[in-house]
Structure formats: C-alpha cells, structure tokens
A and B are shown apart, each in its own frame.
Chain A
C-alpha cells in the first residue's frame, strides 16, 4: 500500500516538475524546447503507467538519453541549416524589438554645465542650464550608486567645486550615473563638463515600423533577411533569426569564396579517411600476420609494445606529436637536421602538414587494425597454409591468395566504420593543426588540413561571424554521408536483431 502511494507520489512530483519546466520554456517563446520536454514527459508517463508497455520501462531511460542528446540535436541542427542563425541574427524578433526600444541617445538641445562638490557621504552635483539650475542630494559614487534624483536649485552649493582632474578620476562611475528630474526626464553625462537629456532612440509604430528619433529615419522590418532596414537599405544590428530556405546550401554551391574551400576540404577529407584506412590496415595486417606466425617467439612482448600507441589516451599522444613536430624546438626536426640537414616546416606548408597528419593518424590507428586482423586470422584454417607450403608458395602469395580473400568480408563493416570515424576525426585536427595553414581567399575560416567536421566547428565557434546557419547546413550534408555509410554498413554486416 505504502509502495503504491510512494510510486504515484514520485510520478506526480516528477510530472509537476516537468510541467513547470515546459510552461517556463513556453512563456519564454522557446517552443521547440517546450515541445521536446513535453514529448519526453508524455512518453515517460505512458511507459511507466501502462501495463502493456512494461518492457519499454527497461529501455526508456536509454532511448530517452539518445533522443535527447543525439537525435534531437541532430534534427535541431538540420533545422538551423535553413535559417540565418548567426552572431548578427541571434535573437528572436521580440528580443530584437526589446533591445532596440531600450536604446537611448543624448540630445544636445537640453544640456547643463555641471560642477561637483565633495560632501559627507558622496558628491553633490550642481547643474546649470539655460533656463533653470538643478542640484542633487549627495550621491555615493564609491558605493556604486547609478541613479539619483535632481531638484530645482536657487543657488550654487557652498565650497570649492572638484577640479577637472578629480572628475577625470571619477569618469567611470560618472558615465554610468543617471539623474532623474521631477518630471521624469533622464540626464546623463555628455562630456566632462556637461550633462544632457537622454531620449529613447527608437519609437515603434502600430504598423510595425521604427522611427529613429534622432535622425527621423524610418525603418521597416524585413522578415526575409531578419533585419530592420531603411529606404537606403541600411540595416539595424542586431537582426533576428528567420527562415531563409535553401540559401545556405545555395551559398555553399555558388559563392566561390565558400564553394572553393568547401570542395578542397571535402576532397581532403575523403582522401584523408581513405588513406588512413589503407595505411592502418596494411600495417596492422602485416603485423598481425607476423604475430600469428608460430616461428616467432616473444609474442606477448611484441603484442604489448605494438598496442602501446592505442593504450595512451589519444588527446595526449596528439599533443605530444604537436610538440615533437614543432619546427623550431621539436625533436623530430632536430633528428632530421642531424641526419639530413633539413628542417621541414610541418605546420605552415600544406603538403607537409597533411603528411604529418597521416603519419600521426597511422601511428594512432594501426593497433586497432592489428587487433581486428589478429582476431580474424585465428579463424582461418591452418591446413590451407600447409597446402600452399606444399605447393611452394611464399608468404606474399599466401597473403594475397589466402589471407586477404578470407578476411576481407568480415573486415568490410569494420573498415567502413573506421572510414566514417576518420571522416569525422575532429579531435586529431583540432588538437594537432587546428586546420592550419589557412586557405587563402576564403570568406569563412578554412584551413588546408581542415576536415569537414573541424571546418563546421570553426565556422560556428571560431569565426567572428559565428555563422551557425551555414555550419549547420554543412553539418547536414555530413549527416547524409554518415547516414549512407552506416546504412551500407548495416547491409554488409547482416546484423540480426
């Protein structure tokens, strides 16, 4: 009985918390996230209440985790690809209006010369305008006071006013100080010697246009580009996020400053992934064959030494290589200079940088291939080799006529997985070269060693433009490649469920 109460109580509490979160998101116009959590909560309740869905209770947490952190971000990214979401179009339309309408400007028409007097507990400001004089009560600038009332004054306060160099020392707090008159106008510091009235910069009209009160210009909201523009086409920053359809994709294809680097990076990504798979496979297969050969003694020692590169955390070994390949202090160049008298420029020459990346990635990846091959080689019947030895075949013949044909089929899905992994090998590029050296003439940050993933990362997080929309469009293209690869893989490996 108590258990039943506990169960329903806990469920009710969870649902209440979730509903609160959903409502809060909804109120903030975050409809996508509100929807996400609504779906999540609803399915949780369904699974844990319905007797028929008992089996689903076991898988729900894992599926929800994947849905929340893999599938939702994926779909959200595809969605962003169709918008102009970027540093200049980060906000929603409502937030942009709020931002613009809260802006102010100073009108020189109503300006007051001022003097400041030091008093017990702060400074008193005496403002002298054309028609009236105003005075404040003591304002405690040191305590961070930024608003103070002003009242009409008959005479200047007594004492010596602050010298200009004392005012200069106070300029930080003075620039934040706002004085409010009794008819609710605001004054702020206009220069070291004067205060002036501040007005809202923009007024919004019922038809949706904005008027700049300072210049009198009218701005129209353009929901195609996500900016307020005036008659001459000048934009107001910030803009808001709007749906721009296929524009990001069109840009990738047609804009030469994007399509050029994109194509170059795409070709490099493909060749990098392919070369890595080939090199690591070749090395791994040869080593696995040697380790499998029963004439070789000390297998345990060799095996441990050979998988060491795999056992060291990748982020550490990549950084170690970054240091070793350093052009001036790196040990690799010291050795090369000692032996051949050359100091290759590993990080600024595109071809050398690519060579370095392939060397490092082969070092990182061959143990995995070796382990895979060792497992598969064990399954090959020994008498095949016996027979070939009777016929006088050498090791090379054995490799190409017996070993390879027999292991290539079970190896294929693993090779494709490895290709897909290296196609998206972000950590290697980010830690080793960061994409450098850069491609000349690209309008987005793009490097000659960038893979598509690191390229999108740089567009989204490193560029001053932070063009999330464009990055998401390229990411969507990569999703399609990866999706196709994994479907092929599923077919090839004939997985039974």
Chain B
C-alpha cells in the first residue's frame, strides 16, 4: 500500500478509536442495562450496572416457573412468555417456508420465462410493496372475518390468519431471488431442456441446487420479518395464549401493571436467540437488505 500520509495520522487514529469506543458505550448502554435489570430483585429497584444482590426471580418467571422469595411469598409468572415465543416461531417457520416456496417459483418464471405483462407485474410489485399493511387493517380485519365464517382455521384469532396474511409481503423476496437467478448462467438449463428435461425439471434439478445460498438468506429474512411483525398480529390475534411475542411483550409495561424487571428477563430470553441468529447470518442478510428493503 503506497500511501501518502499526513503527519497528524497517529493522532487522528487515536481520536477515532476513542470516539468509536465512547459511541459504542452509549449505544450498548440500553442493552447492558436490560441484562442488569433482569437480575435485580423487584420490579422497581434501582441500582448500578452490576447488581449488588443478584436475584434470579425474573428469570424463573420468564421461564414460566413460579418463584418463591425468602419471605416465602410465591409469585406466579405474569405472562406465558415461552408460549408466545413458541407461537412466534411456529408462525414464522410456517410462513417462511410458504414464502420461500412461492417466491422461488415465481422468481424462476420472472427470471427465465417470457410472458405477457412481466415488466408491468414486476414494477407494480415493487410499488405495492411500499404500502404499509397498517393502513388497510380495517379491510384485512373484514376479510379474515368473512373467511373465518366459512373456514374456521383461517378466521380471526387464529395463527392461520397471521401466516396467510404474511404472504402479502412476498414481492421483496421475489426480487431478491430473481436477482440471484439472473446472475446464474442459463446455458446449463438450456442444455438439460435440449436433452429432453421439462421446464419444471430444469428448475427443480439444476437451478434450485445452485441457488441454496440465496434460499437460506431469504428464509432467514422472511423468518425475522415475520417474528417482528406487529400491526397485523395485534389486530388479528386476541387471546393471551394465542399472541405472538411482538404483540404480547408490550403487556409488561402497562401503566397500571408495570413489570419492568419481569420484562427485562423476558426480553433478554426471547431477544437473544433472534439477535444471535441475525449476527451469525449478517454477512448474507446485509446483501439481501441492500437490494431494496428496509427492516420493519
């Protein structure tokens, strides 16, 4: 690296390091604080970052185990956090699988086939993707109310409704997969078709095995997006034991029933796995995100 360096470089490097470390300290303060609070006893206790007398009471409650303190008073878990987490994961896995299956097949058609209205459909998908579902919640509510009268597992207050509703957000994933398909040379598939393979076979046995990386990325993206979906689930789900984590978690912080410590433990417990998955996969996710989406 042939470099022309101004003289003040050492000094500037030092300032940059210090500045970034200070910034990181401020940025991480809320996260560290929450971990610390989850080990404090009581819901209103204050204290330093390192709790003086750590207590596991909130963690017992978050894991659904009744907690008995030294005075012999037993507290029941306020909310079924693990059930909410399970609901979230269930909904997210099923809808990610569906999204992956459907968007892969459509992306294949958009990338490889010629048909009427292709450009128009692709463009309008991009436009409609930007309309937030919050705005049409009244309509979505009415829609699922109607469907539910005839197909009970797709009605209001079912996980089926939340899963199906999440299929509306497929355009982004179709674009991502299509971009990847475009980058793969099509001569292999053409050779297969010349040898007598059907279009479906060329897709299934040649293109799909080549695209595993992007499929993993889209699956993780869809998974994270569904886990974090709030507006639709908040309107479609009602019963406490049906809620997803995103909808249920806010119940800890109602003015009348302020369970700050319990919330902290539940937040760390449920947020940690998602954070770890995200950090682990960030290299691939970032590429997919910059393709045009914004985290919701």
Contacts and interface: CB of A to CB of B under 8 A. Distances in A.
Q: Are the chains A and B members of one assembly?
A: yes
Interface of A: 21, 24-25, 28, 30, 33, 53-56, 58-59, 61-63, 65-66, 68-74, 76-77, 80, 85, 287, 290, 293-296, 302, 304-317, 319-324, 326, 329, 331, 334, 363, 368, 371-372, 375, 386, 389-390, 392, 394-395, 413-414, 417-418, 420-421, 424, 426-427, 430-431, 453, 456-457, 460-461, 468, 471-472, 475, 478-479, 482-483, 485-487, 489-490, 495, 497
A162 B37 CA distance: 61
5 contacts: A71-B128, A302-B20, A306-B27, A309-B31, A426-B231
Contacts of A308: 27-28, 31, 275, 279
Contact of A69 (B44, B105, B134, B167): B167
B184 to A, nearest CB: 17
A472 B249 CA distance: 28
Residue with the highest number of chain B CB atoms closer than 10 Å, among A65, A290, A304: A65
Given A65-B167, A76-B142, A460-B138, A315 B228 contact: yes
A56 B26 CA distance: 52
Contact of A497 (B33, B123, B260, B270): B123
Nearest to B170: A62
Interface in B205-231: 224, 227-228, 230-231
Which 10 pairs from chain A and chain B are nearest by CB? A69-B168, A73-B136, A58-B109, A73-B139, A76-B139, A65-B167, A55-B115, A55-B113, A311-B278, A62-B106
Contact of B108 (A58, A326, A420): A58
A483 B135 CA distance: 13
A139 B48 CA distance: 68
B121 A314 contact: no
A482 B4 CA distance: 47
B4 A389 contact: yes
B173 to A, nearest CB: 9
Contact of A321 (B20, B30, B136, B258): B30
A70 B106 contact: no
Contacts of B106: 58-59, 61-63
Contact of A293 (B16, B171, B279): B16
B125 to A, nearest CB: 7
A430 to B, nearest CB: 7
Contacts of B142: 76
Contacts of B263: 319, 323
A294 B34 CA distance: 34
Interface stretch (B51-59, B66-74, B285-293): B285-293
A320 B130 contact: no
Interface residues of B, number: 102
Contacts of B113: 55, 58
B196 interface: no
A471 B260 contact: no
Interface in B98-139: 102-103, 105-106, 108-110, 113-115, 118-119, 121-123, 125-139
Contact of A320 (B13, B30, B114): B30
A60 to B, nearest CB: 8
A280 B65 CA distance: 41
Contact of A324 (B23, B30, B130, B170): B30
Given A56-B115, A59-B121, A475-B136, A304 B227 contact: no
B78 interface: no
A55 B109 contact: yes
A70 B135 contact: no
Contacts of B122: 497
Contacts of A85: 138
Contacts of B231: 426-427, 430, 457
Nearest to A321: B30
A438 to B, nearest CB: 14
A21 B152 CA distance: 13
A392 B8 CA distance: 12
Interface in B4-38: 4-6, 9, 12-13, 16-17, 19-20, 23-24, 27-28, 30-31, 33-34, 37
A389 B6 contact: yes
B296 A427 contact: yes
Nearest to B33: A331
B138 A471 contact: yes
Contact of B286 (A313, A331, A371): A371
Given A69-B168, A72-B143, A324-B30, 19 more contacts: A30-B146, A58-B108, A61-B105, A76-B143, A287-B20, A290-B19, A295-B9, A304-B279, A308-B27, A312-B275, A316-B267, A321-B30, A324-B33, A426-B132, A430-B231, A460-B137, A478-B135, A485-B130, A490-B126
Nearest to A453: B134
B290 to A, nearest CB: 6
B25 to A, nearest CB: 10
Contacts of A371: 286, 289-290
Contacts of B137: 457, 460-461
Contact of B27 (A363, A420, A421, A453): A363
A313 B135 contact: no
Nearest to A428: B230
